[in-house]
Amino acid sequence: MNGLLRDALARSTPALGTWVKIPAMEVMELVALAGFDFAVIDLEHAPIGIETAYRLIGTALHTGVAPVVRLPGLDPGLAQRLLDAGAEGIMIPHVDTVAQARAAVNAVRFPPLGARGVGSTSRAGAWGALPRDVYLSHAPVLITQIESAEGVRHAGAIAAVEGVDALLVGAADLSVSLGLPETDPTVRDLIAHTISQARDAGLPIGNAGNGTAEAARASAEAGFTFTMLSNDASLLGAAARAAVEGARAAVSPARVAAASASGPGGAAHTAGTPATGPGDAARTGVAPAAGDPARVADDAAHVADEASRAFTGHAGPAGEGPADRADSHRAAGDAAGASAPAAGDPARAADEPNHPAAEADRTGRGTHA
């Protein structure tokens, strides 16, 4: 019996997940709405108890994101309760040997491969509604973490253990255990070796990175088949900081003074008036002076706006693209400028060709591929 996680790991493109560390159901809803393939509920490095994990698992299943739980360590009783709660995967940290890998399999698999107890009246068994054979066919995804030089040495043998479904490289713990930064060539070589061992065994292998397109691209190019894009708390914190920094810059005295000086109808856009932002530079052809506070404020406001859109998953009103937003901005400006030049006015004719460049600059800033 397959699930959301196995389906995601079987795709040709890397599966995308994130860590859930905030003990709130709404976080899991937001993770699902963002479009993640899976979410790892972190019981190792977050203050999440089993009852909260139980509710997070249920929320994930109902919102269409695969729930995985990282245990604090190998604990067969805890693993069984979380699997009965409906977890599609169990992640075990610090698996360094074949014996530890086999013990993990024993905890999460039914006999004869393991020793997991039967609890078919739980959520995993649809509260007793699933036929016993269907319930027993459920094989959760077991992910073992490779986080030490010893684990790297045994990575191939761990990957070959029947019942181990995937590996995840813990680069932070690996580098700390060696007393080296993650960028050190020795650490990079060990990670590359682990990737090679997993791929040779035909297993998916993942890593934990930050929440950027560049990080995801680098992970895929390195050979990882799934990747963790940051975590809920860090993503929220980054978006909040960008919003506050952009807002403070936008309401700074320099920015407000520049806006006031421009006057209604955009007097600052007339030929020869210094521009106050990148859109204005495209419109007038006059670049702002280096270090101009107004330009700094304008740039920060754009960055905050794009970061907020990226975090919430909205690029604007439904169906609206950059070209639509450019048209709406232009229409609003025309409506506001009651004193706009008449048709055929040379000043307007000179100004109009630069509108597309200005709007493209404003709508395209800070986006990622």
Q: Is residue 230 a contact partner of residue 18, using CB atoms and an 8 Å limit?
A: yes
Amino acid letter, 125: G
Q: What is the distance between the alpha carbons of residues 175 and 125, in angstroms, rounded to a whole number?
A: 41
Q: What is the distance between the alpha carbons of residues 247 and 127, in angstroms, rounded to a whole number?
A: 50
Q: What is the DSSP letter of 126?
A: G
What tokens appear for 90 in the block?
């169990």
In the chain, which ranges are continuous DSSP H helix? 4-10, 25-34, 50-63, 76-84, 98-108, 132-136, 149-153, 155-159, 171-178, 185-200, 213-222, 232-250, 253-262, 278-284, 293-312, 322-336, 346-351, 355-364
How many alpha carbons lie under 13 Å from residue 197 in its C-beta half-sphere? 22
Q: What is the distance between the alpha carbons of residues 368 and 306, in angstroms, rounded to a whole number?
A: 10
Q: What is the distance between the alpha carbons of residues 258 and 274, in angstroms, rounded to a whole number?
A: 10
For residue 368, indicate whether it is catalytic. Answer: no
Q: What is the distance between the alpha carbons of residues 132 and 122, in angstroms, rounded to a whole number?
A: 12
Report CA 68 to chain centroid distance, whole Å: 16
Q: What is the distance between the alpha carbons of residues 114 and 76, in angstroms, rounded to a whole number?
A: 11
CA distances from 196 to 212, 222, 329 (A): 24, 10, 51
Residue 139's nearest CA partner among 158, 169, 114 is: 114
CA distances from 158 to 15, 162, 175, 218 (A): 22, 9, 20, 25
Amino acid letter, 365: R
Catalytic residue among 45, 62, 314, 368: 45
What tokens appear for 205 in the block?
């292998």
What tokens appear for 91 in the block?
């992640």
Q: Is 168 helix (H, G, I), strand (E, B) or coil?
A: strand
Catalytic machinery residues: 45
